[in-house]
């Protein structure tokens, strides 16, 4: 599996365009890996996780052919993760030379936004798929299981486990400490890679809801080891960083590298 991280920031970006805090100012000054756009990733060039408001810019920056995307797995409807209106640019008569529909997967709220934005064009260019937690389905040459997240009590937010060509990947955000049913499903799965939310810095509470912090990620790593959720050689990658974490890229590297966790940055590509 090739995983291409297009964006690695929380909802406001890092730096926040409107913010003058010392951390945003420092990120602007340093540039490079400290400039983070809204979170999204692409798997093997054809599977996209979420469609952030920055997707168009990210495709230009990283020379991504969004016309090649066959499957769009949406975690939830929050504005930084799903900009459904932008997908109208893919419809017939606007985008040319496309040979396949884009299959869009998500919860009921995601489907509502999808139908409101582009539902009149479903068919040749789009196919919509309503998902429910823990119901596994086939998606091209992959098998996908949506898992329940702890993120927004008013929405059934989803995480995804992708099994493809003998490898297993957890796309594990947005979420705080996972719900019990998700932990039970993950037990003994021996994942090859887990991508986790690390929105916050140090909070003093490893069981934060809605998002993870540094302490949560470290406790999740211990739970993964204890319950054989991640292979011994498996990789944890952290992403979805907020400027309110008060941590820059070198800080995340300093914190996580000693325990083998990889902090993602915009444009990072890894192979598992």
pLDDT digits (tens, 9 = 90+) for 77-122: 999 999 999 999 999 999 999 999 999 999 999 999 999 999 999 9
Report the chain's C-alpha Rg in angstroms.
18
* 208: pLDDT strictly greater than 90: no
Contacts 24+ apart (CB under 8 A), 11-14: 11/38, 11/78, 11/79, 11/80, 11/242, 12/242, 12/243, 13/37, 13/38, 13/54, 13/243, 14/241, 14/242, 14/243
- Residue 14 DSSP class: B
* 206: pLDDT strictly greater than 90: no
Contacts 24+ apart (CB under 8 A), 222-228: 223/183, 224/191, 224/194, 227/183, 227/186, 227/187, 227/188, 228/187, 228/188, 228/189, 228/190
Cα of 61 vs its chain's centroid, Å: 19
- Tell me what percent of the residues of the chain surpass a pLDDT of 90: 97
Please state whether the predicted TM-score (pTM) of the whole model is above 0.85: yes
Q: What is the average per-residue pLDDT within 114-142?
A: 96
Q: What is the average per-residue pLDDT within 236-255?
A: 98
* 124: pLDDT strictly greater than 90: no
The three-state secondary structure class of 90 is helix
pLDDT digits (tens, 9 = 90+) for 30-41: 999 999 999 999
* 155: pLDDT strictly greater than 90: yes
Rounded CA gap, 254 and 86, in Å? 37
> Residue 200: which residues within 8 A CB-CB, separation 6 or more?
208, 211, 212, 213, 214, 242, 244, 245
Q: What is the average per-residue pLDDT within 254-259?
A: 98
Residue with tokens 């996972």: 178
Full residue range of the structural domain in which residue 186 is found: 2-271
What's residue 213's pLDDT?
Answer: 97
User: Residue 127's domain is classified under what CATH number?
Assistant: 3.60.15.10
pLDDT digits (tens, 9 = 90+) for 185-205: 999 999 999 999 999 999 998
* 262: pLDDT strictly greater than 90: yes
Residue-wise burial string across 8-42, b where 16 or more C-beta atoms lie within 10 A, e elsewhere: bbbbbbbbbeebeeebbeebeeeeebbbbbbbbbb
Q: And the tokens for 237? A: 């990658």
pLDDT digits (tens, 9 = 90+) for 178-190: 999 999 999 999 9
- Tell me what percent of the residues of the chain surpass a pLDDT of 70: 100
Mean pLDDT score of the chain: 97
Q: How many structural domains comprise the chain?
A: 1
Q: What is the average per-residue pLDDT within 136-158?
A: 97
Rounded CA gap, 156 and 204, in Å? 27
pLDDT digits (tens, 9 = 90+) for 14-64: 999 999 999 999 999 999 999 999 999 999 999 999 999 999 999 999 999
């Amino acid at each position: 599996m090739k995983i291409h991280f297009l964006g690695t920031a929380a909802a406001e970006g890092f730096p926040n365009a409107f913010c003058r805090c010392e951390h945003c100012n420092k990120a602007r000054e340093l540039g490079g890996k400290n400039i983070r756009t809204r979170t999204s990733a692409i798997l093997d060039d054809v599977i996209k996780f979420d469609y952030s408001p920055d997707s168009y810019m990210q495709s230009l920056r990283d020379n991504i052919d969004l016309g090649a995307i066959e499957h769009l797995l949406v975690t939830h409807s929050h504005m930084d993760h799903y900009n459904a209106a932008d997908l109208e640019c893919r419809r017939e008569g606007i985008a040319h030379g496309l040979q396949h529909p884009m299959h869009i997967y998500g919860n009921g709220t995601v489907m509502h936004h999808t139908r409101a934005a582009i539902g009149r064009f479903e068919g040749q260019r789009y196919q919509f798929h309503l998902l429910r937690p823990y119901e596994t389905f086939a998606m091209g040459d992959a098998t996908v299981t949506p898992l329940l997240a702890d993120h927004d009590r008013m929405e059934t937010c989803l995480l995804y486990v992708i099994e493809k060509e003998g490898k297993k990947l957890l796309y594990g955000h947005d979420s705080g400490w996972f719900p019990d049913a998700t932990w039970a499903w993950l037990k003994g799965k021996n994942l090859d890679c887990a991508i986790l939310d690390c929105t916050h810095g140090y909070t003093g509470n490893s069981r934060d809801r809605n998002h993870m912090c540094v302490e949560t990620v470290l406790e999740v790593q211990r739970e993964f080891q204890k319950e054989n959720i991640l292979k011994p050689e498996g990789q944890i990658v952290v992403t979805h960083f907020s400027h309110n974490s008060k941590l820059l890229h070198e800080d995340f590297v300093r914190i996580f590298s000693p325990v083998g966790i990889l902090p993602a940055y915009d444009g990072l590509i890894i192979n598992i």
